[in-house]
Amino acid sequence: MARVLRHYGSLIGMAAIVLFFWAALPDTFMTARNWLNISQQLSMLTVVAVTMTVVMVMGDFDLSVGAMASLAGVVAAVLFTLGAPVPVALAAALAVGLAGGVLNGVLVSVIGILPFVATLATLTMFSGAAFLVSGGKTVFGRDIPQGFADFARSGLPLGTLDGKPLVLPALTLFAAAVTLAVWVVLDHTTYGRRLYAIGGNAEAARLAGVKVDRLRLSAFAFTGAGAALAGLMYASRVASANPVQGDGLMLSAIAAVFLGMTITRDGQPHVLATVAGVVTLGVMDNGLTQLQVDSYVRQVLVGAIIIVAVSVSAIGKRAMRGR
């Protein structure tokens, strides 16, 4: 029983959530259009959560991703207002993400600050920098190039349904591509296996010839770049940028990875499990919104679901140990 709960409890719970909304919203929930809509809403969170998984497989985490997403969006938008071409602005924003990630990596692996403290401090810095760069204002309207904003509105036509075109959003495709890339890196390259080894036992990994410090640093850079990417996706989607628009991504991303950890066999982070966590969070948000549940109540419910999922997993683990 404990084994079943431990291995499948969370999956059963996720399925139950979907079934619940299907029953409660028979006409609107289980439709292609709604799921395409969910996938687009979730695309930014997917990118952040999946790249967050890269540091979490080492047993670290990064609190600064939300602030970095905001900063990257603002950097690109401000460059747009200065007349920079789209590729230049995007490259600059990604470079900021990479640099921020390297900063986190240096603090954690070279200087040896706990990830919680280091990334809490850089969160504050990135957030302040976003306000500085934007002057505290939202950048929108004419200043945002049409081509940049159009990306989020484009997609792959899938045909028509009820007379309206059905489109697989470009942001969804993009998030799927990032997920695939990170999955390949973590599961199929020496780089990824070494990151998992660091999470499994850092000292043993070092003695077995893994360059722990260098890999940790690079993994944080990876996560920083992922956060910047998500910030650009956000800016494209709303065709504007303000210095706080990505902030909410951080807690949701960490929650998604933790939810995912409850369904993996070894209880450790895994990219595909993280995606399952992201979908769970997104489905709840979508369903509860359609049920017109107040947004504050929604927050309480989402928090409670996370506690339930992680508790069930922890109880199952303890039962296994005490057998």
Partner 1 sequence: MPELRLSGLVKSFGPARALDGAALSLRGGEVHALMGENGAGKSTLIRILAGLERADAGMVTLDGAPLPLGTSQAATAAGLRFLHQELQVVPALAVAENMHLSRPYPLRLGLVDWATLRQAARGALARLGVDHIAPETPMGALGPGDQMLVRIAATLLEGGPAPWAYVMDEPTAALTGAEAARLFAAIGQLRAAGAAVLYVSHRMDEVMLLADRITVLRDGAHVATRDRAATTRDEIIRDMTGREMADLFPPHRDRAAPAPLLQVAGLRAAGLGPVSFDLATGEVLGVAGLSGSGRGALLRALIGALPRAGKITLAGQPLAADPAGAWAQGLAYIPRERRAEGVMPRRALAETVALPHLSRLSRRGFVNHRAATALVRRLSAQVRLKASGPAQPVAELSGGNQQKVLFARALAGNPRLLLLDEPTRGVDVGAKFDIYALIRNLAARGTAVIVVSSDLPELIGLSDRIAILQGGHITQTLPATGMTEAALLAACYGKDG
Distance between CA atoms of 111 and 3, rounded to whole angstroms?
41
Interface map 234-273 toward partner 1 (x if CB under 8 A): --------------------------------xxx-----
User: What tokens does 274 get?
Assistant: 């993280």
Does residue 323 bind partner 1 (CB under 8 A)? no
By CB under 8 A, the residues from 167 to 196 that bind partner 1 are 188-191, 193-194, 196
Which residues face 164 on adjacent strands? 161
Q: Interface with partner 1 by CB under 8 A: which range of 5-13, 28-36, 201-209, 281-289?
A: 201-209
Give the orientation angle of helix 170-188 with respect to helix 146-153, to 10 degrees. Answer: 80
We find the least distance from the C-beta atom of residue 208 to partner 1, in angstroms, to be 4
- Our CB check for partner 1 shows the closer of 120 and 184 to be 184
- Burial code (b: 16+ CB inside 10 Å, e: under 16) for 6-18 equals bbebbeebbeebb
| CA angle at 253 for the pair 246 and 133, rounded to the nearest 5° | 20
Interface map 270-309 toward partner 1 (x if CB under 8 A): ----------------------------------------
We find the least distance from the C-beta atom of residue 205 to partner 1, in angstroms, to be 7
Residue 67 near residue 247 (C-beta atoms within 8 A): yes
Q: Interface with partner 1 by CB under 8 A: which range of 14-22, 122-130, 170-178, 199-207?
A: 199-207
Does residue 114 bind partner 1 (CB under 8 A)? no
Q: From residue 189, how far is each of 67, 193, 195, 196, 278 by CA, in Å?
A: 30, 6, 10, 11, 24
We find the least distance from the C-beta atom of residue 196 to partner 1, in angstroms, to be 7
We find the least distance from the C-beta atom of residue 184 to partner 1, in angstroms, to be 8
- Our CB check for partner 1 shows the closer of 58 and 65 to be 58
- Our CB check for partner 1 shows the closer of 13 and 199 to be 199
We find the least distance from the C-beta atom of residue 199 to partner 1, in angstroms, to be 8
Which contacts (CB < 8 Å, 24+ apart) does range 18-26 have? 18/283, 20/287, 21/283, 21/286, 21/287, 21/290, 21/291, 24/287, 24/291, 25/287, 25/290, 25/291
Report residue 282: phi and psi, to 5°: -70, -40
We find the least distance from the C-beta atom of residue 323 to partner 1, in angstroms, to be 12
Distance between CA atoms of 299 and 284, rounded to whole angstroms?
10
Does residue 204 bind partner 1 (CB under 8 A)? yes
How do strand 139-140 and strand 240-241 relate by DSSP bridges? antiparallel
Distance between CA atoms of 218 and 119, rounded to whole angstroms?
15
- Our CB check for partner 1 shows the closer of 14 and 215 to be 215
How do strand 139-140 and strand 155-161 relate by DSSP bridges? unpaired
Does residue 211 bind partner 1 (CB under 8 A)? yes
Q: Of these, 197, 229, 256, 257, which contacts partner 1 (CB under 8 A)?
A: 197
Does residue 200 bind partner 1 (CB under 8 A)? yes
Q: List interacting residues with partner 1 (CB under 8 A).
A: 188-191, 193-194, 196-197, 200-201, 203-211, 266-268
